[in-house]
Structure 1
């Protein structure tokens, strides 16, 4: 409930978002948001389904003992009853959550070194056919943070592996690949820096997309994916 109500103020009212997140009860969180409806994001009616499904997805990833990935949708809807959502909205969110539960988990390697226009264009093409998906990534300095931030801004659930101080060695890379269904690799032409990723993904029988690119002066540009 806090996640859902706070998203009404993202990204233009971060101070209201943060204040709502510290509301001590669900009733106060709901009343806080209702009293400031003029500050809601303009596209809320179109965005609210993605917000709730992303919240459920993150909860399923971070609290596996709740078994949200496998339990009947009726149980999920019962658990959300306290949010007092319109029945049509709740039904639509449940349908989209089921799509997410069956959607692929995607990991991305080499995006930090590839030119941003290349990453943006090719990732957009790869995910366009997917009704839903999950980004699988490390959370240390070697993570593809531009891809991560783009995914979070669009309410794509993210599964984090390892710790912020853990080195991205072969063990962690293998764990990320093992948690993925689809591995996307950006590699510079005539280079073989990511051979271990490719060999591991192949040995684990994961779907692989190898995206070769030429070095580009625009490598530091901002990532933009439609």
Structure 2
């Protein structure tokens, strides 16, 4: 087994932590959701414009196919973000890990990336399931060229934690990712991109667990030790 890379070493308790207002956090998460759905929605609009163009009759089938694929993609991303970022039920609600799997696969799996889901179908506290979905997004950033994300559980019941092992070519832990989930302020402050790992860290702290990253060769592991 290869020696873990320096990226697995974690800094001491951060000296500067983010203090984000509820209004700013809500706005940033809304921006993130809009970023996720604007591409497929824009493709639907483009397809409709082709259908309206009388000179593009030969492109009708292509346009209909584009609209159908983009509508499915937009729906999948909205269902995912509703659980990952939204209220997803009342305070104290519990969510089904089976439902989590159903929203993960259409968003993550494509021609380059697949998911191996080894979690039991059970109800867990809402924020613990939301944390899992956000960890899946983090796992995707570690394999920029695609690969396999293996998702398993540690512990049981309401204390269930998660291990996500992502294997792929050029796997890496993005710079600053550990700091963001630990609540360290990035240069320039939060934006619609960096708010997601920061929010994942907030969820982890609410669940009284930590998020840790480690790398061994082409595999990056994200775990939530107690």
Q: TM-score, normalised by structure 1?
A: 0.27
- How high is the TM-score relative to the length of structure 2? 0.27
If asked which structure has higher relative contact order (CA below 8 Å, sep 6+), I would say 2
